[in-house]
A and B are shown apart, each in its own frame.
Chain A
Amino acid sequence: MITRHKLLFTAATMILLLILLVTMIILIYYYPKPANIFVVEYRFNRVLEAVLSGIVLGFTGAYLQSSLKNPLVDHYILGIGGGALFSVYLLVLFIGVEIYLVPLTAITGGLIALTLTVLIAESIGGSDISYVLSGIGVNSLFSGASILLSYMILAKQPYAIHILMGSFITASPRWLPHTIIALIIVSTTYPLLAKPLNTLLLGDTYAYQLGVDPGRVRLYSIITAGVASSIIVGCFGLIGFIGLVSPHIARLIARTTDNRIVIPFSGLLAGLILLTTDTLSRTILVSTTGEIPAGAISSVFGAPFFLILLYKRFKAR
């Protein structure tokens, strides 16, 4: 029973990883046929960064949902993305695309927005729905401001409008260290947080009598998620709904809510989903309209999913 459980988990992880790797290799080297070595080089960065960003967002979505016990949230809904993007655009406006300042600025903006969302949500009752409402408000504020800024910074960041929705068009080796750092943040905290996060699912008092400090576990989880997702948003923009959808698909496939399984599954699935959307974004419609941001495609599929969740949530009561 126990060994079967662990074996299944390991096997599923391996299969997902294998699918991811094979798809990546095909998309870099073989399909569509690359014209020259520069195309391969560009694709290598683009594919790798899309996958790594997806993995990070999948992790952070699972962290946020389980720590807040709220299946309706991700970095985008909670306003982290909006705050991070706005602060990076401010940085670009006043200083320029400073590669080392981008993640720090994004983290600051993301965490400020997250704090704002939490404070407002708690002041209007603290329910799962108040988090969604407060997050959407905070996100609209910062996203709106980012849209304004995006036109003012076009000279310094010609892809500013693409990045609004989230796009890997700017993929290059210089963003790779940022993405890897974000991945390290979520993967090193996973073994420490996954098990205590499970106890939170039974309620704070319950977690407490199991020897867990629920407040501390929640704080560490949302800070980890806030920091890591802000870094990704700072590099590639708002990529909504991937972090929301992936943990749910992971729970459906694995048929469990155990965070030790859901968190890494959600990461790998998000990597695969983001790779798919980015591939769609750089292949379909390119000849007629030019590249569509990957974030736009993910929202088209993700937003209906969110509405279904919302419907289920209200039907349950």
Chain B
Amino acid sequence: MIVIKRMYSGYGDHMVLKNINLDITDRGVTCIIGPNGAGKTTLLRTIIGMLGYKGSIVIDGRELTSYTRRELSRKISYSSQIDIVELLPLTVREALLTARYPVSRGFWEDREDYEAVERVARMLNIEDLIDRRLQELSMGELQRVTIALSLVKNPKYILLDEPDAHIDIGYKSSLIKLLRSIGREKSVVLSTHDILFAYLVGDNIVLIDNGEIVYRGSRNKLLSAIDMIEKVYGAKIAVFEYGDEKYLTPIYI
């Protein structure tokens, strides 16, 4: 359980996040939505210890600052876009083995590390990509590999920065199923620009505006907070019925 109380954080003296109060449970998917520059990425980066903060962030009973870098990295993974250097090519397998760094014991990876890589590759259906180089992958394939990278060290909390960026609608629906199944065993916290995606994948939705949490609630309650979302984004949101379910979508007119 991650308990964030009266937390302020940002870059240097510039506080991006103001008075954040948030609980992240041991299981389930938490979606962070909000306009560009609202502080979604800042929140994720503060939780992995990259940014200094005021207030308190307690992870499994201990304050964030009391963890060593290695301890923290075993508990939490964070993935944003990975860097790819054209002339220094890594294969998917090499990248995955590298991502075992905090849990792999010796100088070389052992059987356990290789097995973890195989397991995650099977789970994310990227077995056929495993010997390909990262720069040969399509955006959608790379996005799957990125998620695999954050799973392979077997962390308790998985933070994903816009996992639905650059992927087509077909893959997006399988991504939703995948994230929901991961959320049954682990705690997934993700940021996204897609409100429908957040609504479909999230157990809890957090809306950030201008560095403050303006809405926090379960997925079902989101439909009754349309006014708030419309105000924050300055856009129109429509609620519609499809089958027996209600959904929401932005109206771009």
A interface, CB within 8 angstroms of B: 1-2, 5-6, 65-66, 69-72, 128, 191, 194-196, 198-199, 201-206, 208-213, 248, 251, 256-258, 260, 309, 312-313, 316-317
Task: Kindly list 5 other residue pairs between chains A and B, CB separation below 8 angstroms, not including A195-B101, A202-B149, A211-B101.
Answer: A203-B81, A203-B83, A212-B69, A212-B101, A260-B108
Q: Are B83 and A195 in contact (CB under 8 A)?
A: no
B-side interface residues, number (CB < 8 Å): 37
Which of B89-97, B174-182, B236-244 lies at the interface with chain A? B89-97
Tell me if B168 is interfacial: C-beta within 8 Å of chain A.
no
B82 within 8 A of A: yes
- The one of B50, B82, B89, B111 that contacts A202, using a Cβ cutoff of 8 Å: B82
Docked-complex contact B78 and A201, CB < 8 angstroms: no
Judge whether B70 is part of the interface by a CB distance below 8 angstroms.
yes
If A1-B114, A2-B109, A210-B101 touch, whether A203 touches B87 (CB-CB below 8 Å) is no
B107 touches A260 (CB 8 A): yes
Bound: A69/B119 CA distance, A: 30
Q: B74: CB under 8 A from chain A? A: yes
CA gap between A256 and B88 in the complex, in Å: 9
Decide yes or no: A201 and B90 within 8 Å by CB, A2-B110, A69-B83, A260-B108 being known contacts.
yes
In angstroms, Cα B50 to Cα A251, docked, is: 32
Task: Name the B residues within 8 Å of A191 (CB-CB).
Answer: 107
Min CB–CB distance B158 → chain A (angstroms): 11
A120 to nearest B CB, angstroms? 21
Interface of B is mostly: loop
Query: Which A residues are in CB contact (< 8 Å) with B64?
Result: none
B108 touches A209 (CB 8 A): no
CB B138 to nearest CB in A, in angstroms, measures 16
Nearest CB on A from B74, distance (A):
7
Assess the A206–B83 pair: CB atoms within 8 A. Answer: yes
Compute how far the CA of A317 lies from the CA of B81 in the bound complex, rounded to whole angstroms: 18
The residue of chain A having its C-beta at the shortest distance from the C-beta of B153 within the complex is A210
Report A-chain residues with C-beta under 8 Å of the C-beta of B76: 209
Residues of B close to A256: CB separation below 8 A: 91, 94
Q: Which residue of A lies closest to B113 (CB)?
A: A2
Q: Which residue of B lies closest to A200 (CB)?
A: B83
Give the Cβ gap from A114 to chain B, nearest Cβ, in Å: 21
Cβ contact within 8 Å between A211 and B69: yes
